[in-house]
Chains A and B, each alone.
Chain A
């Protein structure tokens, strides 16, 4: 990699790593794994930098590497605990206790999703990718994205205790067993 390409890569990392770290965090569920995942993905991107001709496509390349790498990590690491070092926010305008319980339940349910389902949910609802964009990024059909996401949402509803009206499904004390 020549100095000009290296400078371009530095610029890309500086501009995009905070956003990519957030995606990595949602894919892995904890900060340590997220940093490791992002560093691995960016190191692979660094090695492939000269081959990536369209700079606009770099984000997609890094996301794809993260999803593939994280999938393999999940296979290797039997995760028994899903720790978080970030406290959920306390929003205003809604019952904070209920919000907290809802988010905790949903976060726990997310951690129990198979890796591909979790990746699709993150790409669809955090990255706001369309079904077609998600399909392209993961190398699967739009139909697979639809069916997998649907199964993931069903599982999230079931596991977290959410129903179509999440507030109606909560017990009075806001605690989800």
Chain B
């Protein structure tokens, strides 16, 4: 036994054993239990009153086959297994109705301070005209990322989705059509040690259980009624989820069906290892604009938009009324490229496909083309936040300090550059005048296929 084992035992014993028992805990327990039961019944009755679909009365004799996953998605559509329900109004299972969805559970902290608006913007960039209602929110502690489950309605039909916060904004992890009479939303999410299965049901249900082998169920109690998170380990090819009503009726489960598979390397777990850690600077880009930029990147590389992700490093505009965004973009599973996208005053878009970003670079840059009647283009220099001074020179031995008076750009420098410039250079210094980078601008602008 190691000393730390002894110390832990000693610490636990000394601290815990001095704890006086709570006086008569039973009254509080029974009161809280009654409150929990009342909440379940209230939610259940509300759901029953709103239900419009007849409930199937067929008990599945065997579990259905594992949900097909033809697209390689880590998330399965959870079309409800034909399940039975007792005609007991007080504990009737509750389907998810987008018009009158389940009440929100979990933490709202991930949606405050504009979080819900930015999520809505991001969602509408993909599903125009859609409105969404959050159902559940949590902060996943290991990554400190917010996660939100929501239901949406619009021209694309009823959908349900899971989104997570990332450095580039909201990332949609799940985006599935909502089948009629859905009673459980299941999503396999990435985790720090093992993937996680998130199960979201009506708060009126009584028990959520998971069976790795499809038959040996074990209950997973969460702190919020109707929500459970299950670690996914080992062979999950036959795993299943079972949801029971408030009576715990094993013969008539609210939901009984296979759990979706998690596919490693997709979703939030797919961030490339050359992603820079700098904060996003400048303006907050419009979600629709960002979506167009990432579309352009996908087209430039012949990839599907759904396979492309990005991180914004700087967004803003210049004197020639060009609006632009600059950062990194990548195809899932591949290294990230520096990438820019600009739109001029006439609405003409110009993507910039930069090189694969070096690991831990000191500076990244891209060029916004000269507008009509403009004699200069804009060189956008995005340095490491530790850089104190940016110098630019058109000739080999001459440098001008750039960036003075541009404090609002938080270190990013916009330089008017002659489109015909050759051999122009950048030099970056830290606070003690130490040179962090010195080299030709062209070396930062090498495209995917060629340089210059």
Point out residues on A near B: beta carbons under 8 Å: 10, 13-14, 17-18, 21-23, 25-26, 31, 34-35, 38-40, 42-44, 46-48, 50-51, 64-65, 68-69, 71-76, 84, 86-89, 91, 102-103, 106-107, 114-116, 121-122, 125-126, 138-141, 144, 147-148, 153, 156-157, 162, 164-166
Contact = CB atoms under 8 A, between A and B. Distances in A.
Contacts of A107: 11, 15
B32 A43 contact: yes
Contacts, number: 158
A128 B1 CA distance: 13
Given A26-B12, A44-B221, A48-B219, 15 more contacts: A10-B26, A14-B26, A17-B25, A22-B19, A38-B25, A39-B32, A42-B29, A43-B30, A72-B229, A75-B107, A86-B15, A116-B193, A126-B13, A126-B16, A165-B3
Interface in B27-48: 28-30, 32-33, 36-37
B248 interface: yes
B16 A13 contact: no
Given A121-B8, A162-B7, A148 B193 contact: yes
B230 A139 contact: yes
Give the residue among B10, B37, B107, B192 with the most A Cβ atoms within 10 A: B10
A58 to B, nearest CB: 13
A115 B25 contact: no
B19 A140 contact: no
Contacts of A157: 4
Interface string B410-433: 000000000000000000000000
B193 A103 contact: no
A102 B7 contact: yes
A26 B33 contact: no
Interface string B189-214: 00011100000000000110010000
10 contacts: A18-B21, A26-B16, A39-B28, A47-B206, A48-B248, A64-B221, A71-B229, A84-B15, A88-B15, A140-B231
Nearest to A89: B14
Contact of B37 (A47, A51, A71): A47
B106 A76 contact: yes
B220 A35 contact: no
Contacts of A140: 194, 231, 233
A138 B10 CA distance: 24
Interface residues of B, number: 56
B142 interface: yes
Contacts of B14: 88-89, 91, 103
The prevalent SS among residues of A at the interface is helix
B29 A76 contact: no
Nearest to A10: B26
Contact of A75 (B12, B19, B138, B193): B138
B224 interface: yes
B435 to A, nearest CB: 36
B12 A13 contact: no
A86 B36 CA distance: 31
Contacts of A65: 221
A76 B230 contact: no
Interface of B: 2-5, 7-19, 21-22, 25-26, 28-30, 32-33, 36-37, 106-107, 109, 138-142, 192-194, 206-207, 210, 218-224, 228-231, 233-234, 248
A54 to B, nearest CB: 13
Given A21-B19, A26-B12, A47 B26 contact: no
Give the residue among B17, B142, B223, B230 with the most A Cβ atoms within 10 A: B223
A144 B231 CA distance: 11
Contacts of B9: 125-126
Contacts of B139: 75-76
B18 A40 contact: no
B222 A69 contact: yes
A106 B7 contact: yes
Contacts of B10: 91, 103
Contacts of A31: 19
A146 to B, nearest CB: 12
A141 B37 contact: no
Contact of A46 (B11, B29, B224, B231): B29
A23 B223 CA distance: 18
Give the residue among A31, A39, A64, A107 with the most B Cβ atoms within 10 A: A39
A2 to B, nearest CB: 14
Contacts of A48: 207, 219, 248
Contacts of B223: 40, 68-69, 72-73, 76
Contacts of A116: 193
Contacts of A165: 3
B193 A13 contact: no
Contacts of B193: 116, 144, 147-148
A42 to B, nearest CB: 5
A161 B273 CA distance: 31
Nearest to B246: A47
A152 to B, nearest CB: 10
A170 to B, nearest CB: 12
Contacts of A17: 21-22, 25
